[in-house]
Amino acid sequence: MKRLQPEWVVPLVAFLCHSKSNTTGDIFEVGAGHVAQLRWERSRGAYLRPDDSFTEGNLLHKWHEVVDFSRPDHPNGPVDFTQMLFKTNSVPETPSESEHTPDFKGRVAIVTGGAAGLGQAYSIHFARYGASVIVNDLADPSATVNKIRAAGGNALGVQCSAESGESIVKAAIDAFGRVDIVVNNAGILRDAAFHKMTDKQFTDVLNVHLRGTFKVSKAAWPYMLKQRYGRIINTTSTSGIYGNFGQANYAAAKCGIIGFSRALALEGKKYNIKVNTVGPCAGTELSRGALTDELFQAFEPKYLCPLVGLLCSDNLVPEPSTGGLFEAGSGWVAETRWQRSGGVAFPADKSLTPEMVMHHWPSVINFDDGRADHPREPADGTAKIMANLQETKDQGSSKSSNSYLDKIAAEQKRTASGTEFSWNEKDVVLYSKHDLPLLPGFD
């Protein structure tokens, strides 16, 4: 670990801050001589007709298209919704596949932000397939609860912020005795250009989206561990994946949810707790300003339900069935993942300079040389760094010439040769001017 020093990061940072670098908005991985770029990669996805035939069964039938990266996109922003809508509406009518209909009888689902929009659609969908639903919202959730009960379903409204996760989960346990599914959907917007954004605008959005997701998941987690079963759907946004002007607060919260979800997926895997993240495009009050009236009507929230229902089902989704990130809307579903360039492996026993980084920059950002990979597990994040360390060691260089620890050790071994000091009468007189005691024999 001696070679994993900060000095390996500094040359990359220096280059990125230099006037000759025009790089912006990108992500890089660096350590022990390894420098590479990360970018998003999105499958072409599956297209289903946005009507009543868009069900979990039909989506499962096309799941191989959802996770097919043979012809991927490498986007810097959301999909072209107009073009995508044209493709989904062009899909021939398909008989509804009923063989793999989810069964949520006996399950208890919590949906935050359930008073309207996506949350209401999710709540009704779970109830339709037999789940008892806790409908949570800061607004009055009674309209959603009444719709479910009128259709013969079982639901209970809990009016509070998603930040009151303990109260929401307690209501589920008190009413139904368990909690199996959590859909963290609650959200607000406080858009503003960054130079005008206030602390309150920033923290309010993080509290509802990110902290609310944490609080509900945290409260439900012990019950899911005990029953060795759980399904959690967390809601991100294309703003969190790609960024968006005027939404630094919202993008930060939604990007944080992606990392949070990946961590929970790893921790919950051996307990049959599956955690996935969905970036929806739907016509809701939050998206009304970003969509034209035509698109707003076309992207009905109910067309997100088959994806969420499938991810919350019992073992219908092929492995890996947890830790995924999906973008979806109006009949289109695609998976999004990280892609990492092959990068450059500088010798780990030599000093790295900004000039070296600049000279090899085309290789650092080259994704087309056949060496790019797709890190998913924690070990993948350091695999290339450790491989570069091992390669340097195998080549016979076991001591780093620029190791701080080595330099400190060398300095500690140095000894002083001593310094001779002498004085004359003039020096003594000068000292006496500062009220210093005279040496014996000079008084």
Tell me the catalytic residues: 250
Q: Give the number of other Cβ atoms within 10 Å of residue 86's Cβ.
A: 10
Please check whether residue 389 is in contact with residue 348, taking contact to mean a CB–CB distance below 8 angstroms. yes
DSSP result, 314-363: SS-SPSS-SS-EEEEETTEEEEEEEEE---EE--TTS---HHHHHHTHHH
Asked whether the beta carbons of 56 and 101 are under 8 A apart, the reply is yes
Token digits of residue 198: 């206030």
Spell out where 141-241 has E strands. 154-159, 181-184, 230-235
SS3 46: strand
Pick from 314, 321, 268, 328: nearest CA to 121: 328
Instruction: Enter the tokens of residue 166.
Output: 């303990």
Phi-psi region of 170 (alpha: psi -120 to 50; beta: other; left: phi over 0): alpha
